């Protein structure tokens, strides 16, 4: 099965991203595994993905890469069909991730 990661926006949480995007329905109808990871927090305690636009010293690319690797090892997923999408700050991270992840 394909794998899709769906990233929340700044100050939001993974659970809300699940509700807003309704991608669970799409995943069920199209047979792919959908994961809503939760980003780290900034100095104010707000949820954030470090997409290089802040001075936060968090390694989200490493976190997402390790998450994908773990999912690929533990579940029967198609390694050539791994996708990532996101909203707002999560979308910024998608661009950065797609440029760096191999």
pLDDT score, position 102: 47
CATH classification at residue 16 = 3.40.50.1820
Q: How do 40-41 and 47-48 pair as beta strands? A: antiparallel
Over the stretch 42-78, which tens digit does the pLDDT of each residue have? 888 888 887 665 555 667 878 888 999 999 999 999 9
Which residue range forms the structural domain that includes residue 42?
A: 3-100
pLDDT score, position 7: 94
Report how far residue 49's alpha carbon sits from residue 96's, in angstroms, rounded to the nearest whole number: 11
pTM assigned to the model: 0.86
Report how far residue 74's alpha carbon sits from residue 10's, in angstroms, rounded to the nearest whole number: 29
Q: Number of folded domains in the chain?
A: 1
Of 81, 59, 73, the residue nearest 5 (C-alpha):
81
């Amino acid at each position: 099965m394909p794998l899709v990661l769906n990233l929340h926006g700044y100050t939001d949480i993974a659970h809300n991203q699940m509700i807003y995007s309704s991608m669970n329905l799409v995943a069920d109808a199209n047979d792919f595994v959908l994961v809503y990871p939760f980003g780290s927090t900034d100095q104010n305690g707000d949820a954030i993905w470090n997409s290089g636009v802040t001075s936060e010293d968090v390694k989200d690319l490493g976190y997402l890469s390790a998450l994908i690797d773990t999912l690929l090892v533990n579940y029967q997923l198609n390694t050539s069909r791994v996708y990532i999408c996101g909203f707002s700050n999560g979308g910024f991270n998608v661009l950065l991730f797609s440029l760096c992840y191999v």
